[in-house]
Amino acid sequence: MINKKVERSDKALFELNGKPSWGLAFPQAMQHVLAMLVGNITPPILIAQLLGLPESDKIILMQAAMLIGGITTLIQLFPVFGFGMGLPNVMGVAFAYMPILSAIGLSYGIKAIFGAQLVGAFASIFIGMFIGKLRKFFPPIVSGTVVLSIGLSLYTTAINYMAGGNANADDFGKTQYWIVALVVLAVTLACSLFGKGYIKVSGMLIGIGVGYVIALFMGDISFDNVVSSSWLALPRFMKWGIEFHPSAIISMILMYIVQAVQTIGDVSSTTIGAFNREATDKELGGAIKGQGICGMLGACMGGLPTDPYSQNVGLIVTTKVIAKRVFTIVGVIMIAAGLCPKFGALMTTIPYPVLGGATVTVFAAITMSGIQLISQQPLNYRNKMIVGIALALGVGISTVTKSLQFLPVDVQNIIGKSPIVLAFAIAFVLNIIVPEDNTEEED
């Protein structure tokens, strides 16, 4: 009888509405938390550093990232009035938004980030409502070009952090920083390429752990903020306030459109890999609307935009564990971490070279995901030119921003600060106006 109960509990892990024992569900949930943890806390750290915010603000941003990630995970799992997809996934702050968030923050400040996010997230809800009719406008050639431009634009951030994090500091590029960063990169790659099970999916976390220990012995870590932080704190609504700037709003809306396309890919991967079926329009629309409503909530409490984490999608597809109970635990753990300032303070002690060595693998994965998407369509002359021209102008103009100095400031801020918006606009328009080419792929 006991063996039959255990067997039923084991099978319940692989059923959406299954109820596995808490003893079985908790380790599976922790595996997902470990897989997403670093990716979720790093964007708020990077934004806080970029904008020169104090340590206390950095901690609040990280708390909000964990809190909004947990809330979004639960809403996606248990839809409310059509917001959410009703499927397992783990949501967290999206790296893909980093170039846009950085551009807005440097131009207008953190208030403008949350103002643009509030409007962009509201627009995302409408995208989700009509996703069935809009999907045809975002084929892989368009979405892949955008994802590729996101990956390319993030490399400067990774190198900056590997070299110390502050290009104006006297010790920027110090040999010690590079040694730590490269050790983290090597450990992360070794775990991901040669590891199995938990080690394979937790490669980045293990890499950061090794780098953290090295930095600790080098005396680069201080725990003063951890000691002084409280154990419990409620969310700080409108801590920074919000501001609305047209150019920032337009950029953010376009980014939410781009992210909707990427969400379609992640949700589709989940349903195909774990449920052996295509995602329905209702599920895709619910996922995008769920991100939108949580993006609006996040704008009010300091939580940056979220998306489904691809590493967790991969974990779901690999393990086939889809029980809602498992992902409920994930969401609750994230929310608990978001309510604990000591957790956020501990995360801020991670040195920048350690973060740089770990995140470069994420940025590389984003870049290759873009290439993979593009290659889903034949690389004939038409498609090569769409991708090539979009990237040439998007990346080129964002690199030489002075080339737009005689255009209105708002135009400069929309298309000149990040390659993503311009690359998306060009690829989107060219895909519509250039006639289809049914010739075979060119060598």
pLDDT tens for 332-352 read 988 988 888 787 777 777 788
Nearest residue to 241 (alpha-carbon basis) of 301, 327, 198: 301
The separation between the first and the last C-alpha atoms of the chain, rounded to the nearest angstrom, is 63
* Contact yes or no for 199/192 (Cβ under 8 A): no
CA angle centred on 16, ends 11 and 20, rounded to 5°: 40
pLDDT tens digits, 274-308: 787 877 888 888 989 998 898 899 888 888 888 88
**pLDDT over 90 percentage in the chain:** 7
Domain extent listing, the chain:
2-433
265: amino acid identity, one letter: G
Judge whether residue 2 has pLDDT over 50.
no
pLDDT tens digits, 25-58: 887 787 777 667 777 888 888 888 888 888 888 8
**Per-residue confidence (pLDDT) for residue 417, from 0 to 100:** 67
In eight-state DSSP terms, residue 136 is G
Nearest residue to 342 (alpha-carbon basis) of 230, 426, 254: 230
Structure-block tokens of residue 239: 């801590």
pTM for the full predicted model:
0.74
Structure-block tokens of residue 282: 């209702």
Round to whole Å and give the CA distance between 78 and 73: 9
User: What is the pLDDT confidence band of residue 5, given thresholds at 50, 70 and 90?
Assistant: very low
**Per-residue confidence (pLDDT) for residue 343, from 0 to 100:** 76
Round to whole Å and give the CA distance between 369 and 206: 23
